[in-house]
Structure 1
Amino acid sequence: MSTNRIPGARPRPGVVRTRLESFLGVVELAGLVVIGLATTFAMAEEGWKVAGMGKVSITDLLLMFLYLEVLAMVGRYLKLGQLPVRFPLYIAMVSLARDLILRFNESTEFHLLALCGGVVMLACGVLILRYGQYRFPSPDDGENGAVE
């Protein structure tokens, strides 16, 4: 089979698909690098702020924990090429808890109840996901349906 192309001929779908997948892979990697660098910069900035103030509050710790979770999520995706749905749920729970602590004195009862309800709903979602992963393991979950 000749590799010479006929002028005006369209490329084969397999070649286009391979090039597109390659391009998307590069864009995905670049996006992950940008997210990782931005998160690292934000965490360093928060660390300098805490060091400058000379005291650490629970909201500062929760914010740094959020940054660590984002970095762990990026690292896992780079390492394994997959991302459990639980990671964003954990990040959302910590974010709601941080908002609850930050705005406790100035929030209405409805706002506080909504935040607490959101945390409970996210926690239930994590429990359902973990139970489903344990009860109905996929081949990617490892032996005995072990959940990470």
Structure 2
Amino acid sequence: MKYENALQRAIKVRLERAMELAELFGLFIIGIGTVAAMGTLIWHMVQSDGVTLTDLLLMFLYLEVFAMVGQYLKAGQLPVRFPLYIAMVSIARDLILRAGSNSELHLLASSGAIVLIALGVLMIRYGQARYPSNPEERRAEDAK
């Protein structure tokens, strides 16, 4: 019985380590890809002798990806807000890119999607402030 538990723990530790390495490798690949994409964008902006709003929004998206990777490396978890921010900027970028060909329905739907995502972010932030998941934060909030 003791031998089985020790074996199970050893296997579990090795699998957890393998998963951590796979996550780090994935984050490394994402970081390298983001650097390459940002470098390509910067090269394009230098070659075209101009910067457009869509270029800036795309650069902002790349920075948000970097922030997500950094947050994951620091905390070991990823807040849901980061992908929501990226979604809002992506929708705004799409609206700008299609400025001349957007139908009224597409504009309304895209704007509504941004508002809904923003409301979702507000709800998440409120929930995190009101009901923190960290036990120390909860105790400090109860002491007030």
Q: TM-score, normalised by structure 1?
A: 0.85
The count of corresponding residues between Structure 1 and Structure 2 is 137
- In 2 relative to 1, CA 22–92 (structure 1 residues): closer, same or farther, beyond 3 Å? same
For 1:23, give the aligned amino acid. A
Q: Could you tell me how far apart the structure 1 residues matched to 2:54 and 2:132 are?
A: 37
Q: Could you tell me how far apart the structure 2 residues matched to 1:142 and 1:130 are?
A: 15
For 1:95, give the aligned amino acid. S
Shift of residue 58, structure 1, vs aligned partner:
0.5
Could you list the runs of 5+ residues in structure 2 that have no partner in the other structure? Answer: none
Q: Could you tell me how far apart the structure 1 residues matched to 2:130 and 2:43 are?
A: 45
Which of residues 84, 108, 115 in structure 1 aligns to 2:103?
108
Shift of residue 60, structure 1, vs aligned partner:
0.3
2:72 paired residue number: 77
Q: TM-score, normalised by structure 2?
A: 0.88
2:44 paired residue number: 49
For 1:73, give the aligned amino acid. M
RMSD (CA atoms): 2.0
Q: Could you tell me how far apart the structure 1 residues matched to 2:65 and 2:126 are?
A: 24
Flag the structure with higher helix content.
2
4+ residue runs of structure 1 moved beyond 2 angstroms? 140-145
Q: Could you tell me how far apart the structure 2 residues matched to 1:74 and 1:98 are?
A: 22
Could you list the runs of 5+ residues in structure 1 that have no partner in the other structure? Answer: 4-8
Contact 1:104 1:112 in 2 (8 A): no
Within-5 A mapping of 1:1-148 = 12-139=7-134, 142=137
